[in-house]
Amino acid sequence: MTIQLDLIQTTGLAVIVFVLGRWIKSKVPLFQKYFIPAPVIGGLICSLIIFAGIQTNTFTVEMTNTLQDFFMNLFFTGTGFTCSFAILKKSGKLGARLAIGAVLFLVVQNLVGVGLSKVFGINPLLGVAMGSISMSGGVGSGASFGPTLEAFGADGGTAIGVAAATFGLLLGSITGGPVAQALIKKYNLKSTAEKSAEEKKETHLLTQSTFFDSLLLLLGAAFIGSYISKLLNLTGLSFPYYVGCLFGGALIRNLADARGIDLRMHEIDVISNCSLNLFLSMALMSLNIAKLVSLAGPMIVILLTQAVVMMLWAYFVTFNTTGRDYDAAVMAAGHCGVGLGQTPNAVANMAAVIDKNGPAPTAWFVLPVVTVIFINIMNPIIITFFINLLK
């Protein structure tokens, strides 16, 4: 039996998947601790049910995923709005050193993934999927680049990328603390900052007028990004469509900064996050689990190796290039979080170290800003280079 879902029905299923994942996450502390996204939880359950139907010849499901790409591109346009070079300047030379290290590590992750994929005799493009696509890029990147990898013959690119990114969320949360504590103990590092009073949480009022203006701005930036995407492809490299949207958002953000225009970033973040949740729900509920099962063994080895390499990089490179002090140790913990998981993992890692050992104001400001901006900008470019080299 084949179950065919039209556009509205597919979107409705995505909503059910998200709500289910959010409910399960609220009941399972482990998912909360390691920042596993609700769409990942619900989407994997849905894809497993569909996989079971296919394996038992009971049913198959055909979905209409037209809106999946739309939500993906809208999310990455919103991500581009976070790339403010005016804010980046405040990080100074320390931020520059951290940025160079973070970008170089993107290359290292892909070299590790590709190298080990050749050892196991699998498509090297799947090594890129288990490299910076999923590790530093996260679940959204894994789902976004997957179709590109599959178009070049890497069967299961989406499933592998998403699964690797999901596992990375766990790895990112359990590696940072041990690295920081080892550095603090070895060099007897101490916090030199005084504890500050907890900042008053900022509240924002959403109104129909301002929210709609922010939506129009986001859609306009995506429109500009669509043409940037065309220009990027004139280089002869195969850039995913969303890369242009990312640059479109960054362009509008920095033009606004230059003109002194205050954007309502909280509204842009709301739209971007809603788009991400719907995109991930649609992407994960249609994963090809069969491709994932066939590569389970090699994938575990590659991902554990990525975790070890990340810890060594944070210990020897991130720490030594960012001051060799307490703040540098905290940044090493944060880099493990963002290098294997996502920004929330980085923030959680740093917060755990700070709670135990004292404030690290420099690390708290510099690492999230620098890594978010440079990883978001440079990772798609580096990934595209590797894909075109290996396709």
Range of weakest confidence among 9-13, 122-126, 263-267: 263-267
pLDDT at position 173:
81
Do residues 78 and 224 both lie within one domain? no
The single-letter DSSP state of residue 133 is I
Please identify, among 259, 275, 291, the residue that sits at the C-terminal boundary of a domain. 275
Check: CB of residue 367 under 8 Å from CB of residue 334.
yes
Structure token digits, residue 241: 């469509």
DSSP, residue by residue, 325-361: SHHHHHHHHHHHHHHHS-HHHHHHHHHHHHHHH---H
Give pLDDT tens digits for 210-237: 999 999 999 999 999 999 999 988 887 7
Residues 264 and 385 in one domain: no
Residue type, 10: T
Assigned domain for 201 exists: no
Quick one: 174 and 318 in the same domain?
A: yes
Predicted confidence (pLDDT) per residue in 173-202, tens digit: 889 999 999 999 999 999 987 654 444 445
Q: Give the helix/strand (H/E) hosting 7.
A: helix 7-27
Same domain membership, residue 285 and residue 266: no
DSSP labels, 17-43: HHHHHHHHHHH-HHHHHTT--HHHHHH
Whether residue 21 is found in the same domain as residue 85: yes
Domain boundary among the residues 225, 252, 275 is at 275
pLDDT by residue (tens digit) across 258-297? 999 989 989 998 999 899 889 888 988 887 787 777 778 8
In a domain, 376, yes or no: yes
Check residue 194 and give its pLDDT: 63
> Which amino acid is it at 348?
A
Per-residue pLDDT tens over the stretch 26-54? 999 888 877 778 888 898 899 899 989 98
**293 and 153, same structural domain?**
yes
Q: Is the pLDDT reported for residue 157 higher than 70?
A: yes
Residue pair 235/267 in contact by the 8 Å Cβ criterion: no
Distances in Å between the alpha carbon of 14 and those of 38, 45, 231, 283?
A: 11, 12, 33, 9
Cα–Cα dist 312/182, whole Å = 12
For residue 200, being part of any structural domain is answered with no
The residues, ordered by sequence, that sit 6+ positions from 185 with a Cβ below 8 Å of its Cβ are none
3-state secondary structure 273-302: HHHHHHHHHHHHCCCCHHHHHHCHHHHHHH
The domain in which residue 248 lies consists of 208-275
Out of 227, 251, 275, pick the residue that ends a domain: 275
Q: Are residues 18 and 81 part of one domain?
A: yes
269 and 294 fall within a common domain: no
Report d(CA 290, CA 279) in Å as an integer: 21
Burial state string for 344-368 with b = 16 or more CB within 10 A and e = fewer than 16: bbbbbbbebbbeebbbbebbbebbb
Average pLDDT over all residues of the chain = 89
User: Which ranges constitute the DSSP H helices of 28-156?
Assistant: 29-33, 38-55, 66-80, 85-89, 92-119, 124-128, 138-151
Residues 132 and 239 in one domain: no
On whether both 39 and 125 belong to a single domain, the answer is yes
Residues in CB range of 29: below 8 A, 6 or more apart: none
Q: Please give the residue that has the higher pLDDT: either 198 or 22.
A: 22
165 and 31, same structural domain? yes
pLDDT score recorded for residue 372 = 78
pLDDT (0 to 100) of residue 203: 60
In a domain, 262, yes or no: yes
User: Residue 202 domain-assigned?
Assistant: no
What sign for the dihedral angle of Cα 330, 332, 337, 343?
Answer: positive
- pLDDT confidence of residue 5: 93
The total number of structural domains that make up the chain: 2
Q: Which helix (H) or strand (E) holds 235?
A: none
Query: What DSSP designation does 180 have?
Result: H
Give the integer Cα–Cα distance in Å for 155 and 138: 20
256 and 368 part of one domain: no
